[in-house]
Each structure stands twice: as structure tokens, then as C-alpha cells.
Chain A
């Protein structure tokens, strides 16, 4: 790894001015579980690394029934797996975090890092989008808030502007039931070949769907809302046939590639299987 300057600011304004000052050649480091690998492999060349782990208030985890959840960018995956708030109101996030990486990595890896890394396979993106998450981005120029589904721009690319930090993620109060299913050859220490999140707001019993959200991971340049599949489900009885139709639609509307992790045909097929299973698991 090449030498670089490492800063550890302790206030947000200090961090933001550092980022503004060293515009362009700077990398933000949180857990470092994505960044350091890239730097070691020479895929990311940074002269300045700004460590944000000491910033106050970036690891909040608060919930109330009106505003929903506020999740600081520095919240670790491990915290997601252990927080009573998450367990009670958004259990899918705990389940998702639990099958990510390993205990050691989860203790370092942050929610913000998972999203800002903007991998199409990032496991937290599909369930968070399904839950209706927004992200708060802050820079020396001010703060803005965008829906998480608009945050991803392409593989490794997000809406973050140079000098901008992801501060927190906000979720509306939970509605309906949500599941995330991940297909990978290994249970732990593996990247999703396909990830499927589905949230269903039921009508009366569990057999009718008022509204659905389907979000697919690792089958498009960005985590993908499967709108057609959602339309198949919305306002319908969740019959076996209807579920299969939605699964098929999702398989159609994604655009996976062939790579060492899996062939495109296989990924489409897994989208179908996982969506079908996901819906059944919350019914």
C-alpha cells in the first residue's frame, strides 16, 4: 500500500472542512472493510484518508412511532444484529446483517460503508429500500436528504458529491412485513449472487396484498426496484399463481451479467425463486 496522510477529526465541521480542503484525492474511512482492500489492491489511490469513526452522533440508533428510525452511518453491522429496537421494529435488518461477512468483520463494518461503497450486491441496500429508507448527506455546503433508492448511480458510484458525507439513514415507521433472501454458495463470508427484498402490506388476512415493494440486489448496476413485479402484486390476492407471476416479472425486469459468481440466466432464475420464497416466508 502506498503512503497516505491519515486524519482523525473529532467534530463534524472539522471533518467536512478536511474533506472540502483535500477535495478529490480523499477517501473517507469508516470500518475500512471495503476501503482498505481496494487500497491494498491499488484499485483506490488516495493521498488522504479521513477517519470518521471518532465523529460524535454518527452512530445513533433511535426510534419513535411517529418519525420511525434514525440510524447513524457509523452503526456497525454487529449493532444491527443485537439492537432490541431493530429486533422489534425492523427484524429484517437484523436478519440481513446476521448473514453478512463474519463476526469479526461485522464488528468493524458500518451501515454507511455498506451503502457508500455502492456495490450492486450490498446486502443492506435491498431491505432498506424496501423499508422506504432515505439518506441524509452533509457537506460544508449544507445537508440534503434523498430516498435511498435514488442514492445508487452505478457499480461503486453513489449520489455522494466530493466532500459529502453520509450522515444518517432514516426509516419510516414499519408497515407490513419484510423479508430479505440472499443466495450465495456459503452462508457466511460470501457476497450475494442474488439478493431479494420484499415488503408486503397485507389487506386483512395474509392472502391479499395492498401494496408491495420488491428490491433486487446483484442483478443490475444498482440495487433495483422491481416495479413491474410490485404492480403484479398490488391489490391482488396472493395466490400461488399470482406469486409465480410476480416472480417471473422480477426475473424479467432485472439485467444481470455473466461473471465468475454466476451466469445471467442463473441469476434471473434465483430472483424468481427467492422472490417466491420471500413472499411465502412473510405470508
Chain B
């Protein structure tokens, strides 16, 4: 019997995407479809006194123009603070008006014909100003009468005791920047109303069912009037985890125009009107005993969430998790203030707080190791999370390969590396992997170093809504063809393929016998959405349950036909056989037909619903087991720093990840490498440079992603721990790939040149400035 799980099965949609045959949102053309464009605010904070749309309306080819007069009366969004069109602009990306025209260029031209009279208001561009006494209120309508949206405060243990027990204490402040998803496909939505006033929305969302609800709120219609159809998605990375104003705007446009409307962002708009990852300013103190045991961690941070609240403002929950539960720390305090400003809108992005917090936690770990004169890997292993334990935060860790991940990357650190260092090589307590000879012919301005970092990530869903569930059905037709209808969403991560593998393996059919349907809320069963690395685990368990249910139905019929008991049967390659008597066999198609065509027959339709055994965290203490499993990973980065230019080249990245079981090792590697690409950019090149609420580099030239030519050699090693709850032992892996990268690189830079970088990205200019500063103070 051929195993299907554990195989390097190519993604089901790979050839369609590689050959340009996949249908993305930008490819959708409906009869009579019009095009919408949005006019954004000229000021970061201003009252709209008057809008004159008459000239725009009169432009040939313009169908209609919309303004806040067209808004339904409802506020929407996570913070219930947003509207489609604004009468007060709170950021430069605020939607002031919209044009619908027969083509996008005419719509664009019409935007220029709209005159808006603004009354500029004082604007706030940093959390510090926003929290200052007497600061103007960004949302004066809010009860709290403060620009503080929410302050998260968490503790476990007794910080004072932790301090007293410490032999070494280190402290540092860090800054991480705005970055953005930079999806290959810009945001796009197509909206169409039918004669019953039912809306169909073609969308790249990651949360079709929640979007139904969010849109119903925003538009003031029932969720049952809304159908979401997901197109092929050209990258999401968290961008699609929220409702954004352009979505209800497209619906309002379609309704007003009486024709379908497509709203597609330009690349510039994708940068300026799309969400960004929150910048964070953080101070962290941490201590350890001289034997290397961690004593405490104390984090205080401020997040600039922008002018409207999205789900992205919940990222402190994940920053908190890293702070409280990455490694065993007895005493922890964590604080995060989420503050409104007139800056960019922020949102959810892959890792959801974890890349930020892992950067400061894992660089502090390195400082502690140094203060203790311990090997950084040995120090980490000593404090690593262990299997079958509960963290003080209440995370119940079952399978856990953290130690193995750390040891694996350390064991791979040495290969082919050469090390020259101005850092104290004479110090025998430096990295154990560092005992390499100094190679003489190396140019003296190039210094090499290695660094390590680990990561903890939810790997069994994350209960941030009351349900963390997913539904699935499995249908078998007369020809033995199997259709998996899953609530989950394919966003390029390969869930379709992995779920098909799970069903194929469970039912005993071949991969080519399976079709996956996952893109239509009118068809698929409910699901929370694709986030928190949850799909393989949650949707995988649901798919497996549905497949088992279908298999039972097949076996029930097959048992009658084969004159055996259902428990004596097995299935593979599309056939059912009696275990001890393989000659007695029939095909699944035969079983299905016999079931369909007999009197009083039945259909083969398996169903599965999986909601993991987890809890919402306590709303005051934030404690509780949020996930049914936890994934772990570690990375080793080897860098070469050019001390004259400050340029950091990553020579090698070794990644080890505990994924429980790799249902598709190739897909796991894809997630790790893709994650690393984002982690490398976060570490070294990516930053939205923002001044007075305006992005100064809203293009792919000056917002520098790592291209294929910039990528270092990546070695991705899969560590398997066979999770007790995951489908076939699998855990989630979607976010881990890029989380520890920035810390590993920062630690490697320290190893190379003895400088602790505290601001991301670590650009050549920042690194050189730090080198020059060190030279002048020495």
C-alpha cells in the first residue's frame, strides 16, 4: 500500500499557477463590470468641510461618485471605529470619495476632478505624543476619552523574587519598524448584487465566514445575503485577516451603480492604503542564575496601531506568549500599550507579534549567555521548553522538539564555515561552534559570525474567537471520485494539497482521485479562517474525521457485498479488501454505486467538525491553553559583515522545525524558506519609512524585499515529534519560518563585530553608524 502522507507531493495548484492558468481576483471579468477607484485624504487629520463631485460625475464614462453621504449608518471593524467613507480623515489613507467608471483610467482621471475642502486638525505621529497630557483625541467619540486603545498587562510569578535570585541581569531597548506583506497580487475585490439584493463578493480574504459577518455589519444587511467566493490568492500573509474599508466600498459602489464593480489596488495603493505590521518600541530586562537558569523577564512595549483598530491590535497576545513562555521563565511581567495615532493602518501579519517579540527575547537571551559566559546554545537548551509540561501562562505543551531543534542547528553550524572575528575570540566561552581557524587571506574588513535563535508558535490552532473550529465534508461519487469540501482556505500555503493527502490516506484512494472545494461560502461548511498556522492541524483533523465517516459508510456497504464485517476491511488505491483475504475485494466506486442504486439507498457523504480542546485565555489574566499543540523551531545564521560599508551578508541559514509530523515535507520546506525570506527582509532590508503619517518609500524599489538573488543558502531540517492530537501527528508550521531570523542574524552580527544592533532593519547605514560609534567610544 502506497503511503500518501509523508510524501513530497507537488501542490495541486502548482501547474495552474506556474502556467498562468489560475484565476486570480485581477482576472475576474463579469458582464457589465465597472471599475472603482478611491480618493484618499490629503491630510493625516482633517475635517471634510465640503466635497464637490460635480465635475467628476460629468466626465464621460463615469457612472457614479460616492462619498460619506453613501455610508450606511454603521461602524465596523475590530474596534468598531471605521466607516467606508470618512467625514473626518484620521490618516492619509482615509477614504474620502469613490468613483465608478467604465474603466480604471477614467475612474482615476475623475478622482482628480473631485474638489475637497479640508479643515486640517492637529495630527499625532507617535504614541508618545498621543498619550501626552492634552493630546488631541483621534476618536473623540470613544468612551475612554483617550488615545490609548488598550493596555495589555500580564504577570506570572513574582518579579521581585526573580530579580533577587538573579546573578546576572541585562536590559536593552529595541525598535522594530513598520513592514508590510508586499503580496505579489495587490488587494482586489469584485462585488455584485442580484435582484434579491444578495451580494456576491469575489475576494482574497483569509476569513470568508467572518468577513460575511463583518460586511453584514458594515453594510447593514443580513449575513445570509452575502456570499463570498475566494479566487486564487496571490499572497496573503495576514493581509486578509480583517475587513478593510475597500471591501464595503466595493459593495456600496456595486449597489449604487447597479452593475458589478471591481476595485483593484495599484501597487502604490497597496503600500499606502494596505495594512502594515505594527512598529514596536520595547524595553526588556531579564535575569539568570549563575548556573544558567532563567529567573525573570520584564517587558514593556508600545505599539502604534494607527488611526483604526484591526485584529492586528491583538498581536500583543502573541508577544506576550513569547515573553512568558518561550523557554521556562518563572517570573514574568509583560505590558503592551496599543495607541491610536494618525499614522498608517496596521493589521495582522504572518507571525502576528511573534517576529517582533522573538527578536527582543532571543537577543536578550544572547546577552544573558554572554553575561554568564555560557555557550549560547547550551544556555538555551538548559532553559528550553520540554514535552508534557505546562507553562506558568497555562500553555499545555505536549509534543516538544525545542531541544532537538537547537541541537540540530548547532550541529550544522560548523559546516564549511570560516570565522574571523574582531569579537573576543580569545574568550573560550564563545559559541561552541566558533573554534574555527582564522583564515589569513580574508580581507580584514570582512568579519564573520554565527548566531542562534529559537521560536515557539501555536501549532494546534489558536482560540482567539469563541470557536476555533472547522467543518469538512467528504463525498464519494459513482466513479470513486472523492470531493473534499473544507471550510478552510487556500492562500498559497498548500493546505489544499495537504488536506487532500490526509483524505486520500484515510479513505485509501489515490491523490488524482480527489478534488478539493474550498472557495465558496454558499458551499463550504463553516471555518474561522486561515491564520495562526492552524489549517493543517484544525482543518486536517476535520478532513480526517469526514474521511473516516465516509470510509465507515463505504465499509458498511462493502461489508454487505463482501460478506464480511466492516472492521475486517481495509481500503487502499481505491479498493476495499478483506484484511486476511485480499482476494475478496471491490472498488470504492462499486460500493458507491451499489449504495446509490439500491432501493432505500444512501449517498456517501462523510462529515467532520473539529474544534480543538483549548480555551479562550482569561480576559483579565490572559492565562489559558490557547492552542492544542505548540510548534518549535531554531535557526542558525552565519553572516559576513563588511565593516567599512556596514553591509551584512547572510551566508547561510540553518533552520530546524518541530512540525510534529511532516505530511508533505516539500510543503514544509516551502513554508520555512518562504518564512525565512520574510524574516531576512525584516532583519536587514524591509521598512516602511514614515514621516508625518506618510510613507516615503511606497514602491518595490525602495521597500526592499529579498529577491531570489539575495537569498542565502537555506538548510531546512524537519524535526518530528509525533503530536498526540494532530492529524497523523502533524502540527502547524505556517508562521515559524521567519520568526527567529532577525534575532539569529543580530546575534551573528554581534559574534562577528561585537556590536548589539537594537533596531530593525539592520541596514548598512545603521550597522556602520554603530561601528563608528563603537570606535569613538573605545
Contacts and interface: CB of A to CB of B under 8 A. Distances in A.
B704 A186 contact: yes
A183 B768 CA distance: 13
B335 interface: no
B645 A270 contact: yes
Contacts of A186: 685, 704, 706-707, 709-710
A24 interface: no
A241 B559 CA distance: 92
A190 B709 CA distance: 11
Contacts of B707: 186, 188-189
Main secondary structure of the interface of B (DSSP, over half): loop
Contacts of A260: 689, 696-697, 702
Given A2-B109, A190-B704, A263-B765, A183 B685 contact: no
Contact of A185 (B685, B689, B696, B769): B685
A266 interface: yes
B117 to A, nearest CB: 23
B175 interface: no
Contact of B702 (A1, A3, A261): A261
Contacts of B696: 260
A183 B645 contact: yes
A113 B689 CA distance: 29
Contacts of B164: none
Nearest to A276: B644
Contacts of A2: 105, 109
B739 to A, nearest CB: 22
B647 interface: yes
A185 B105 contact: no
A263 B772 CA distance: 15
A1 B105 contact: yes
A56 interface: no
Contacts, number: 46
Contacts of A270: 645
A262 interface: yes
Contacts of B109: 2
Interface in B373-402: none
Contacts of B706: 186
Interface centre among A1, A183, A270 (most CB of B within 10 A): A270
Contacts of A128: none
B701 to A, nearest CB: 6
A263 B689 CA distance: 13
A141 interface: no
A165 B616 CA distance: 69
A41 interface: yes
Contacts of A190: 701, 704
Nearest to B703: A260
B737 interface: no
Contacts of A266: 764-765, 768-769
A262 B645 contact: no
B195 to A, nearest CB: 36
B715 to A, nearest CB: 22
Interface in A1-51: 1-3, 41
Task: Give the interface centre of A3, A185, A263 by most chain B CB atoms within 10 Å.
Answer: A185
A138 interface: no
B268 interface: yes
Contacts of A118: none
Interface string A266-277: 100110010000
A191 interface: yes
B51 to A, nearest CB: 21
B126 interface: no
Contacts of A185: 647, 684-685, 704, 763-764
A258 to B, nearest CB: 11
Given A2-B105, A187-B710, A188-B710, 16 more contacts: A3-B105, A41-B268, A183-B645, A183-B764, A185-B704, A185-B763, A186-B704, A186-B706, A186-B707, A189-B701, A189-B709, A191-B701, A260-B689, A260-B697, A266-B764, A266-B765
5 contacts: A2-B105, A185-B684, A185-B685, A188-B707, A189-B709
Interface of A: 1-3, 41, 183, 185-191, 260-263, 266, 269-270, 273
Which 7 A-B residue pairings sit nearest by Cβ, starting from the closest? A266-B765, A273-B644, A188-B709, A260-B696, A260-B697, A260-B689, A185-B685
